[in-house]
Amino acid sequence: MSEEQIFVSNVFGTVTDRRVVYFRKKGWFSGGAREDVPLRHVTSVRIDTTRNIIGGVIFVLIGLATIRFVVGVIPLAIGVLLFWGSPTVVINTAGGDLNVEKGWPWEKKSAEEFVEALHKQLFKE
């Protein structure tokens, strides 16, 4: 048997020619639980951008109201992050499980690379 070939390995997981390794329920402050799934069990994968407009407005308003104090910068930064949006990778497996990984806004390129590599392995000719 030949050696397993890695196509991408980043914060969202690893895609090889035989399996995908990712972190189930990964969020901003949680690492998630590691899942190791054979490629034949993955039925679909997609990338979404999750934004929280209402939360963003609330945090920006709080930040602007308290900006004269140094602590106003913190809710203002959180509000900007909520507006910016987070890349969300959703992997569907044969059992019907939807596994969601959420990354920081600046990790969008890594999410796109992960999804593209997994798509190529799922739909290779």
Read off the pLDDT of residues 53-98 as tens digits, 9 standing for 90 and up: 999 999 999 999 988 878 889 999 999 999 998 999 999 998 878 8
pLDDT of residue 1: 60
Instruction: Give all strands of the β-sheet with 33-38 in edge-to-edge order.
Output: 6-10, 13-16, 19-24, 33-38
Q: Could you list the beta-strand ranges (E) of the chain.
A: 6-10, 13-16, 19-24, 33-38, 42-50, 86-93, 98-102
* CATH code at 6-122: 2.30.29
What is the pLDDT at residue 75?
Answer: 92
Question: What's the mean pLDDT when you consider all of the chain?
Answer: 89
Q: Which phi and psi (to 5°) does residue 47 adopt?
A: -120, 135
Residue/partner pairs of 59-63 with CB below 8 Å, 24 or more apart:
none
Mean local confidence (pLDDT), 85-113: 91
27: pLDDT strictly greater than 80: no
Which pLDDT value is given to residue 24?
Answer: 82
> Taking a C-beta distance cutoff of 8 angstroms, is the pair 89, 115 a contact?
yes
> Residue 48 pLDDT more than 80?
yes
28 vs 34, which has greater pLDDT?
34
Q: How confident is the model at residue 124 (pLDDT cuts 50, 70, 90)?
A: confident
Tokens of 42: 């993955």
Full-model pTM: 0.84
In the chain, what percentage of residues exceed pLDDT 90? 62
Q: Cα–Cα distance between 115 and 18 in angstroms, integer? A: 15
User: Mind giving me the DSSP string for 95-113?
Assistant: T--EEEEE--GGGHHHHHH
Domain ranges of the chain: 6-122
Query: What three-state secondary structure class fits 81?
Result: helix
